[in-house]
Amino acid sequence: MEANEIAAPTNEMPMPLEGIKRKMKFSGVVKKINIAGAIVDVGLAVPGVVHISQLQEAPTKRVEDVVKVGQEVEVWVRRVDPKKQRLELTMIKPLDLEWREITKGMVVKGKVTRLEKFGVFVDIGAERPGLVHISEMTHGYIKSPSDLVKEGDEVEAQVLEVNRRKKQIKLSMKALETPPEPVAPPTKPTHAEKEAEKEQPNEPAAGESEPTAMELALREAMQRSNVKFEGLVGVRKRKKRATDQQFEQLFDRTLQNRRK
């Protein structure tokens, strides 16, 4: 029988206490009440005892204010001792996880109950909710916990740390995710690679296209025009130098004739 199964008393042979475990749920009938509590028949070899403090979460002054003889009730196993044939029951639903049951590394499921700037609180069935810090929610960057979850979402997490004295539970959601592959840092080119890069012909820069045939013809014509222009300028300079020399010779001859 699983912990969440409900058993009711029957006319068949009562079940022995062997195999009965804590937190198992039963449906029973109140057979007797007294100042200390109630006796409940749940169909086992012996009836169970519900102490007055276990009738409800609120303080109870009188047993008859909560239960009456013949009333059907739902109870959970609080303690069981097959050797002494003792069965203690409770009408207060037990926690899914008690402090001694929470251990580092265990995987738990729960519901997001509150969002804060620094993380989210998750009800995992313990006395206190667990905290998933924003840095433990995912491997990637998130600005706010609301980027990833919202109130009421069911999440799975791993217990990072449990402090029974402070009643704190630290959880991690990213611990159950596959971490991203690390990005290798860029490597510096070797001397041989640098030399090979120098020997490669220059290629047009990104965004530039190869010149068309018309553009090539225009460039060639412009270059020819420059050559002709430079040649013409050179001829003019040579002619000017020759004229200047002729004028100087004529001037010298004129001076010589005057001296005679």
Q: For the chain, give the percent of residues with pLDDT over 90.
A: 60
Scan for tokens 């959880």, then name that residue: 171
Q: 227 pLDDT band (50/70/90 cuts)?
A: low
Tell me, letter by letter, the H, E, C secondary structure of the chain: CCCCCCCCCCCCCCECCCCCCCCCEEEEEEEEEECCEEEEECCECCCEEEEHHHCCCCCCCCHHHCCCCCCEEEEEEEEEECCCCEEEEECCCCCCCCHHHCCCCCEEEEEEEEEECCEEEEECCCCCCEEEEHHHCCCCCCCCHHHCCCCCCEEEEEEEEEECCCCEEEEECHHHCCCCCCCCCCCCCCHHHHHHHHHCCCCCCCCCCCCCHHHHHHHHHHHHHHHHHHHHHHHHHHHHHHHHHHHHHHHHHHHHHHHC
Of 41-55, 108-122, 131-145, 185-199, the poorest mean pLDDT is in 185-199
- Separation CA 107–CA 97 (nearest Å): 12
pLDDT of the residue at 189: 73
pLDDT of the residue at 249: 61
**Mind listing the pLDDT tens digit for each residue in 166-211?**
999 999 999 999 888 877 777 777 767 777 776 665 555 555 556 6
Scan for tokens 């969440």, then name that residue: 4
CB 114 within 8 A of CB 87: no
> What's CA 245's distance to the chain center, in Å?
93
Of residues 106 and 184, more confidently modeled: 106
CA angle, 210 then 214 then 227, to 5° = 105
**Mind listing the pLDDT tens digit for each residue in 47-104?**
999 999 999 999 999 999 999 999 999 999 999 999 999 999 999 999 999 999 999 9
Alpha-carbon Rg of the chain, whole angstroms? 49
Q: Which residues pair with 50 in a beta bridge?
A: 38, 89
Going by their DSSP bridges, the two strands 72-81 and 86-90 should be labelled as antiparallel
Contacts of residue 105, Cβ cutoff 8 Å, sequence gap at least 6: 158, 159
Q: For the chain, give the percent of residues with pLDDT over 70.
A: 70
* Tokens found for residue 214: 């018309």
- The reply to whether the predicted model has a pTM over 0.85 is no
Q: 243 pLDDT band (50/70/90 cuts)?
A: low
